[in-house]
Amino acid sequence: MRFLLTVTGASLLASPALADQIKVGVTIPELDVAEYHKPYVAAWIAKEDHSVAANLAVWYQLEKRGSDEGETWLKDLRQWWRRAGRSIEMPKDGLSGPTHAPGAHDMTFDTRSGPFADLDPGSYTLVIESVREVGGREMVNVPFKWPLQAGQTLMAEGETELGAVQLALISSID
């Protein structure tokens, strides 16, 4: 009996390492422009009616303590702001972060906790919105059915402000 409890306890401790994960990849292209500012980016999951099922990330210019100047421009992420942003007090742990330089950036989420854990089976869209000061604005949509299938990778490509956007299920079985 003691051996059985030990094995069961060990398997419970090891189970989080075996959980499926969702990887969201966002590429910010390097632009050859006279005045470059890192973009503000919002990532969220939209339901079929375009309402927000879950917020994933908001990258914006974080200011020194006591200043919220960077938050002033969050409303320039127009679609995200209208659907969710105006009702969220920023900064918010687990959601907000600093702007990112050009390159590939990944976010990883556990399917058993966080934003994906609360999704009911159905059709959704991963939405990435980007806007730059003295620059452009762009949204990339990646439609998907939840739950994702093992090893499934979905992609879309931006044209100006965003490059490749990827949604992938990294299965513990793979």
Task: Provide the token pair at 117.
Answer: 């854990």
**111, 146, 115, 148: which is closest to 16 by C-alpha?**
111
CA distance 19 to 38: 34
pLDDT (tens place) for every residue of the chain, 174 residues total:
444 433 434 434 433 445 699 999 999 999 999 999 999 999 999 999 999 999 999 999 987 555 567 888 999 999 999 999 999 999 899 999 999 999 999 999 999 998 999 999 999 999 999 999 989 999 999 999 999 988 899 999 999 999 999 999 987 654
> Which range marks the domain in which residue 91 is found?
19-170
CATH number for 76:
2.60.40
Confidence at residue 65, expressed as pLDDT on a 0 to 100 scale: 57
pTM summary value: 0.85
151: closest CA among 170, 126, 165?
170
**Measured between alpha carbons, how far is residue 146 from residues 125, 149, 168 in Å?**
10, 8, 12
Let me know if residue 128 belongs to a domain: yes
Domain-embedded: residue 3: no
* Nearest residue to 91 via CA among 106, 115, 69: 69
